[in-house]
Amino acid sequence: MAATNPTPRTRAAAELGVLAFGLTALAGVIAHLPADTATAPLPAKLATGAAANHDLTADFPNFNLYQTAPYSLVTDAPAVVAQETLATLTALRQEFHRHFADLIRTQAPELPVHVVFFSHEADYRAYVLRAAPGLVNSAGLFLPRDNRLVLLDQLGSHNYLRAQQHAPVTARAQASVRLAGEARAITARLIRHEGTHQLMHATGFESAFAVAPTWLTEGLAQYCETETIGAPDKLLTARLAPPLLPLRQLLNHRQPAGFFALPETQVATAYAQSWALIHFLMQPEYRPGFFAFIRSYRDVTAAGAAQRARLVEPAAVLVQHLHTDFATLENQWHNFIAAVKSAPCADDLP
């Protein structure tokens, strides 16, 4: 699906409580538009160097430009916020390369990455309406076509501002500090989530043919949301509440609209289960097979191979690479989920 034709993602516009936010639910959607070589030029066709920055600054003549290679960021936010965002992306990139060194395929020089960081929700919506209209209610997205991250500072979101207004008068100062802290934390998640999608795309970690199942792409992006890749995550652990999607359904989900093809009530759970599934498969006993599974999708580089890959259910491919059978895997998965949920403070992974 191309950014210019995101019809299947129109459902992303549904109110989605993926991110809990203080006194109100934040209807933020962290979105990722899959690459599609049929309609989306690969980053290799992007302008480089000064020409790339010219394109970016021409699009946002009133924004300031900040740079830490390979990132060029334009924003209306204060300089300190811009520098923090670049520092978050830089740290993520270094950690990602270390953490997933065995899976990175592209060693070619990195292309410039554009980052557009909005301080005001109205401006963000206006831009997304033009760039990816189906995602107008999102909080952040990655446009593979332009190798561009588009992010909304949650301190400028309507939900945050509303929550501030509705804070109880008697404890307004404390609520204000807490809400601001939550908004910053959610913004950091957004940056790392979308930054991970960009890295997976740019490093050849994922095929340009969008053959990988949804849980793999979204699970990995969430796995990298925490300050340290793969750290325990209280927010997502809390979302592992029944009814959970059956493992086979989760494993085999692979649609252009991602999890937004599911009923709205299942979307947040599907995201949380995908995150847990990555933790499950990153355990030492599964990791080699899991990495072989990732490579089997990563190495799909031609249309014919993509067509063949789409004919085989991901659950079958996973079981084959793990050298197990589905019943055994399902049993161990249930045990893992139970252990995650009963861990001390319910936020520590076994």
Q: Name the residue nearer to Zn ion (CB basis): 19 or 179.
A: 19
Residue 224 beta carbon to Zn ion: minimum distance, rounded to whole angstroms: 10
- Residue 19, interface with Zn ion (CB under 5 A)? no
Residue 218 beta carbon to Zn ion: minimum distance, rounded to whole angstroms: 5
DSSP bridge pairs for 117: 75, 151
Q: Which two tokens stand for residue 292?
A: 């072989």
Q: From the list 11, 32, 114, 192, which residue makes contact with Zn ion (rule: CB under 5 A)?
A: 32
The Cα 288–Cα 323 span in angstroms is 11
The Cα 138–Cα 141 span in angstroms is 7
Q: Name the residue nearer to Zn ion (CB basis): 85 or 196.
A: 196
Residue 323 beta carbon to Zn ion: minimum distance, rounded to whole angstroms: 30
What amino acid is encoded at 249 in this protein?
Q
Residue 194 beta carbon to Zn ion: minimum distance, rounded to whole angstroms: 7
Order the strands of the 113-118 sheet from edge to edge. 29-30, 138-143, 148-152, 113-118, 71-75, 64-68
- Residue 132, interface with Zn ion (CB under 5 A)? no
Do residues 6 and 135 touch, judged by C-beta distance below 8 A? Answer: yes
Residue 271 beta carbon to Zn ion: minimum distance, rounded to whole angstroms: 8
The Cα 83–Cα 123 span in angstroms is 21
**Among 7-15, 24-32, 231-239, 266-274, the segment contacting Zn ion (CB under 5 A):** 24-32
Closest among 337, 343, 344, 179 to 272, alpha carbons compared = 337
Q: From the list 208, 221, 247, 262, which residue makes contact with Zn ion (rule: CB under 5 A)?
A: 221
Q: Which two tokens stand for residue 217?
A: 């792409």
- Residue 86, interface with Zn ion (CB under 5 A)? no
- Residue 281, interface with Zn ion (CB under 5 A)? no
Question: Binding residues for Zn ion, per CB under 5 A?
Answer: 32, 218, 221
